[in-house]
């Protein structure tokens, strides 16, 4: 709140400037980040407030946004409602998860023909506060699937040179691993190795849901099977994985898939003769010796190329602007009021009213009088009276409490 003070201008008008808006909390997908580990220790983030307005109608500076980097593939949702906020599935994608509040208006805004020297200045609006949930789904071209100890980590190491933990017992892989492979034609592919699936994985058995969700973003699957088992057990292993993929989601079950029979080096001639006719076209490899793995990579690359072509054709078939939506919501000029009882206190709920109260300077008699007039015009007094509120009762609006007085 300020008034013009200048020589030879004895009756200067109000010249209080507006406050700057607060900064936003923004998430940006950054390809240099690969995990969400940075959010384990620090979980609260606060963007700075805007600057205060000054004399001579000087507006305060806007608060700087605070930008938090997350890996591409991060899904952002509201922790309370579970509503999807954004899917940051490409580098550079960004979303504001906490908007800064509007700066308060200086007293120059409140001058009228009948009130030419208002002593009213608004407080800044409180910025949005929310709890969010971050979930990372790996983005890869090829996903390796199969039962535990099928040799997926060995195949990943053979194809990409990655160094996952490998041992001759189930569940060696406890976390998804990524590797980058290059075909003879120079095509680069990202391959994901997820822990082995077991029966009930789609229901979360063995942390299956945590593993299966990473396969949803892959373009093709390589299904690895231990061929040293008897033929009936090989068939059961294939059916078990197929069932888990189909139970988790139709999209996952419908992905292009290459069946690969592994551990060729451990098979004798009779075992090979028994298994190969059952799965014509399925490559038989020895991942540990890198025998046949180059052929697997080339065939998987063809599946990925087909999936990419289908994605491109689907994008071309969409009408212009089909991927962009604008949602228009009608906002009533008169806020919807709700009065509820909380013990001995009457609670008034209405977004516009709560905002008005929070931005009122309660130290200013003129500002409080303006607030009382606004509340009466908005129907708050009538709603409280209809709810049974009488003189002396406590009324809570937002974080402030008032004593109700019936001036009628």
Kindly state the tokens that stand for 94: 């960004």
Measure the N-to-C terminal CA separation of the chain; round to a whole number of Å: 32
pLDDT score of 258: 93
pLDDT score of 156: 86
pLDDT score of 198: 46
Q: What is the rounded distance in angstroms from the CA atom of residue 398 to the CA atom of residue 396?
A: 6
Q: Which residues are CB-contacts of 41 (< 8 A; sequence separation ≥ 6)?
A: none
Half-sphere exposure of 88 (CA within 13 A, CB side): 27
Q: Give the pLDDT of the chain (408 residues) as one tens digit per residue.
A: 778 777 777 777 888 888 889 999 999 988 777 678 788 888 899 999 998 888 888 888 899 999 999 988 888 999 999 888 988 888 888 899 999 988 888 878 788 777 777 888 888 888 889 999 998 876 778 888 888 877 888 888 888 875 544 444 444 444 567 788 888 888 888 888 876 554 443 344 444 445 677 788 788 999 999 898 899 989 998 888 888 888 887 888 888 999 999 999 898 888 888 888 999 989 999 988 889 989 999 999 999 989 888 877 776 776 655 445 555 666 556 557 888 988 889 999 887 888 888 888 888 888 888 888 888 888 888 888 888 888 888 999 988 888 888 765
Which of 242, 222, 225, 226 is closest to 301 using CA atoms? Answer: 222
Contact 218, 304 (CB under 8 A): no
Q: Which residues are CB-contacts of 79 (< 8 A; sequence separation ≥ 6)?
A: 130, 131, 132, 133
Q: What is the rounded distance in angstroms from the CA atom of residue 97 to the CA atom of residue 67?
A: 10
Kindly state the tokens that stand for 339: 């009065």
Full 3-state SS string of 207-242: HHHHHHHHHCCCCEEEEEEECCCCHHHHHHHHHHHH
Q: Classify residue 199 by burial, with Cβ atoms within 10 Å: 0-12, 13-18, 19+.
A: middle
**Residue located via tokens 């949005």:** 128
Coil, helix or strand for 380? helix
pLDDT score of 408: 55
Q: What is the rounded distance in angstroms from the CA atom of residue 103 to the CA atom of residue 119?
A: 17
Phi, psi of 170 (to 5 degrees): -65, 155
Kindly state the tokens that stand for 367: 């500002």
Contact 3, 17 (CB under 8 A): no
Kindly provide the b/e burial profile for residues 139-149, where b requires at least 16 CB atoms within 10 angstroms of the residue's own CB.
bbbbbbbbbbb
Q: What is the rounded distance in angstroms from the CA atom of residue 321 to the CA atom of residue 259?
A: 39
The pairing of strands 188-193 and 142-145 is parallel
Q: Which residues are CB-contacts of 303 (< 8 A; sequence separation ≥ 6)?
A: 142, 219, 220, 256, 257, 258
Is the Cα torsion angle 375, 376, 379, 385 positive or negative in sign? positive
pLDDT score of 320: 54
Domains of the chain, each with CATH number or no CATH: 1-134 (2.70.210.12), 142-315 (3.40.50.300), 338-403 (3.30.300.350)
What Rg value do the Cα atoms of the chain yield, rounded? Answer: 32
pLDDT score of 347: 92
The DSSP call for residue 195 is P
The DSSP call for residue 147 is S
Q: What is the rounded distance in angstroms from the CA atom of residue 85 to the CA atom of residue 331?
A: 21
Contact 176, 210 (CB under 8 A): no
Contact 18, 104 (CB under 8 A): yes
Which of 110, 187, 194, 107 is closest to 145 using CA atoms? Answer: 194
> For the whole model, what pTM was predicted?
0.58
Half-sphere exposure of 276 (CA within 13 A, CB side): 12
pLDDT score of 331: 59
pLDDT score of 201: 38
Q: What is the rounded distance in angstroms from the CA atom of residue 244 to the CA atom of residue 15?
A: 69
pLDDT score of 210: 57
pLDDT score of 204: 40
């Amino acid at each position: 709140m300020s008034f013009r003070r200048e020589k030879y201008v004895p009756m200067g008008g109000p010249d209080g400037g507006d406050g700057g808006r607060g900064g936003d909390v923004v998430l940006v997908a950054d390809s240099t980040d690969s995990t969400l580990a940075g959010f384990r220790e620090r979980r609260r983030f606060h963007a700075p407030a805007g600057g205060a307005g000054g004399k001579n109608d000087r507006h305060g500076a806007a608060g700087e946004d605070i930008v938090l980097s997350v890996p591409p593939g991060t899904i952002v949702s509201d922790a309370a409602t579970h509503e999807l906020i954004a899917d940051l599935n490409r580098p550079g994608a960004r979303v504001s998860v906490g908007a800064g509040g509007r700066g308060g208006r200086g007293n120059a805004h409140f001058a009228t023909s009948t009130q030419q020297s208002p002593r009213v200045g608004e407080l800044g609006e409180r910025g949005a506060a929310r709890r969010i949930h971050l979930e990372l789904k790996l983005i890869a071209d090829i996903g390796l699937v199969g039962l535990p100890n099928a040799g997926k980590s060995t195949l990943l190491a053979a194809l990409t040179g990655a160094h996952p933990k490998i041992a001759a017992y189930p569940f060696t892989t406890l976390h998804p691993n990524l590797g980058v492979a290059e075909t003879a034609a120079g095509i680069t592919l990202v391959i994901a190795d997820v822990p082995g699936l077991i029966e009930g994985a789609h229901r979360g058995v063995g942390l299956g849901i945590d593993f299966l969700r990473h396969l949803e973003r892959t373009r093709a699957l390589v299904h690895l099977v231990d061929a040293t088992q008897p033929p009936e057990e090989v068939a059961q292993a294939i059916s078990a994985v197929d069932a888990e993929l189909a139970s988790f989601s139709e999209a996952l079950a419908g992905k292009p898939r290459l069946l690969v029979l592994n551990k060729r080096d451990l098979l004798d001639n009779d075992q090979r003769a028994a298994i190969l006719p059952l799965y014509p076209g399925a490559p038989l490899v020895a991942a540990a010796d890198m025998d046949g793995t180059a052929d697997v990579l080339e065939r998987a690359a063809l599946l990925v190329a087909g999936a990419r072509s289908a994605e491109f054709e689907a994008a071309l078939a969409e009408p212009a602007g089909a991927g962009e939506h604008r949602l228009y919501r009608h906002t009533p000029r008169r806020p919807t009021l709700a009065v509820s009882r909380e013990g001995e206190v009457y609670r008034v709920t209405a977004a516009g009213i709560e905002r008005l109260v929070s931005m009122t300077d309660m130290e200013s008699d003129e500002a409080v009088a303006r607030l009382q007039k606004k509340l009466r015009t908005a129907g708050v007094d009538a709603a409280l009276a209809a709810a049974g509120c009488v003189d002396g009762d406590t009324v809570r609006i937002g974080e402030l409490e008032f004593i109700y007085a019936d001036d009628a």
